[in-house]
Amino acid sequence: KQEVTQIPAALSVPEGENLVLNCSFTDSAIYNLQWFRQDPGKGLTSLLLIQSSQREQTSGRLNASLDKSSGRSTLYIAASQPGDSATYLCAAFPFSGGYNKLIFGAGTRLAVHP
């Protein structure tokens, strides 16, 4: 059974820092891995989707990498800003376990202070 773990659970940093959020998954048999952002009381906004054949994806100040063999993905945020404060969730799309279901981690709550 696929399990997804995110470390750290919470992170507080000063504005301008570069930071790394970690995601690990127990079963490397995945189609893709997706990173989301969730603001309080809001739904999920997709940030980056990495297909299993890819090693990384970039969007602006965000870079996500995927290492299937080690069961790990990292989300790198450059030059963090207070507007980056949110919960970041990673989700794996496993080969097994039914149709199209994403398996989510519990998230990393990020606070960027001025």
Partner 1 sequence: GAGVSQSPRYKVAKRGQDVALRCDPISGHVSLFWYQQALGQGPEFLTYFQNEAQLDKSGLPSDRFFAERPEGSVSTLKIQRTQQEDSAVYLCASSPMARRGYNEQFFGPGTRLTVL
Residue linked to tokens 């981690």: 105
Rounded least distance, CB 83 to partner 1, Å: 19
User: Which of 103, 61, 108, 63 is closest to 86 using CA atoms?
Assistant: 108
Q: Of 15-34, which residues contact partner 1 (CB under 8 A)?
A: 31-32, 34
CB 33 within 8 A of CB 73: yes
Q: Which of 44, 68, 72, 76: binder of partner 1 (CB under 8 A)?
A: 44
The DSSP output letter for 71 is T
Total interface residues for partner 1 by CB under 8 A: 28
3-state secondary structure of 1: coil
11 binds partner 1 (CB under 8 A): no
3-state secondary structure of 82: helix
Distance CA 83, CA 11 (A): 14
The site string for partner 1 over 76-95 (x = CB under 8 A, - otherwise) reads -------------x-x-x-x
Q: Which of 14, 101, 111, 113: binder of partner 1 (CB under 8 A)?
A: 101
The site string for partner 1 over 45-64 (x = CB under 8 A, - otherwise) reads xx--x-xx------------
75 binds partner 1 (CB under 8 A): no
Type of residue found at 38:
Q
End-to-end CA distance of the chain: 41
Residues near partner 1, by CB under 8 A: 4, 31-32, 34, 36, 41-46, 49, 51-52, 89, 91, 93, 95, 98-107
